[in-house]
Amino acid sequence: MNKCHVCGSVTFYQDLIDEVFYISGKPVLVEHIPAKICNQCGEKNFSRQTTEQIRLMLHNKAKPARVISVDVFSFV
């Protein structure tokens, strides 16, 4: 049985999520990632296979589906 490493809950649901990764300081958005999400705290978990696919996609210079610009605000 899986257990959340943040809160210890054992209940999860499956969903597709978007996540920003930083590669050499550059933000990269990966959309529609299959994830298990903790029902209690919302912690997102990826399978080993999904994590490896993301790693290969980002580090093997795969062509992005599209490019967007992002406004950046500094709270400081």
pTM for the whole structure: 0.83
* The pLDDT of residue 2: 83
- 69: in domain: no
Residues of the chain with pLDDT below 70 are none
What contacts 17, CB < 8 A, 6 or more positions away? Answer: 32, 33, 35, 37, 44
* The pLDDT of residue 72: 86
**Domain hosting residue 30, numbered range:** 12-59
* The pLDDT of residue 54: 94
* CATH number reported for the structural domain that contains residue 35 in this entry: 3.10.20.860
- 7: in domain: no
* The pLDDT of residue 62: 84
- 5: in domain: no
- Total domains in the fold of the chain: 1
> How many of the other CB atoms lie within 10 Å of CB of 38?
21
